[in-house]
Amino acid sequence: MADLAHSFGADLQIGSSGDLALVEDDLETQQRVLHRLLTSQGTYIWQLTYGAGLPGLVGSIASQQRIAAIIRAQMAYETSVAATPEPTVVLAAEGFGVVIATITYTDATSGNAQVLSLPIGG
């Protein structure tokens, strides 16, 4: 089933026919993963334990091992991400407190391998 096209932190998107745009397949999974990783726990009123809260790590002291563990745990909760093979997380320091997380996972529906990179901090 398709979700509304909604990039985290942006407005809903308008489709070519003037209605709300939808997103499916690999892009739907990517959108769900980003929402899960960037949502702080306690802010999604229908499920208070939802979210990794990665933006909340900005300005705090967090080891790369802790960040990777949080990401891996949240990926395991996302039903659109295949459990096998397990997602991998590689973190690289970019300087000035920015860490780039590169997450490799398999879409549970399509079976396609996906790579998602996102900055944390800064």
**pLDDT value, residue 1:** 60
Is residue 56 within 8 Å of residue 74, measured between CB atoms? no
Is residue 116 within 8 Å of residue 32, measured between CB atoms? no
CA distance 45 to 62: 26
CA distance 66 to 83: 20
How many distinct structural domains can be found in the chain? Answer: 1
Reply yes or no on whether the pLDDT at 8 is more than 80. no
Reply yes or no on whether the pLDDT at 76 is more than 80. yes
Reply yes or no on whether the pLDDT at 113 is more than 90. yes
For residue 73, the domain's CATH number is 3.10.450.40
pLDDT tens, residue by residue, 29-45: 999 999 999 999 889 89
Extract the tokens encoding 96: 């000035």
**pLDDT value, residue 3:** 77
Average pLDDT in the 71-91 region? Answer: 96
**pLDDT value, residue 27:** 87
The domain of 108 spans: 3-120
- Note the pTM of the prediction, 2 decimals: 0.84
State what percent of residues in the chain have pLDDT above 70.
Answer: 94
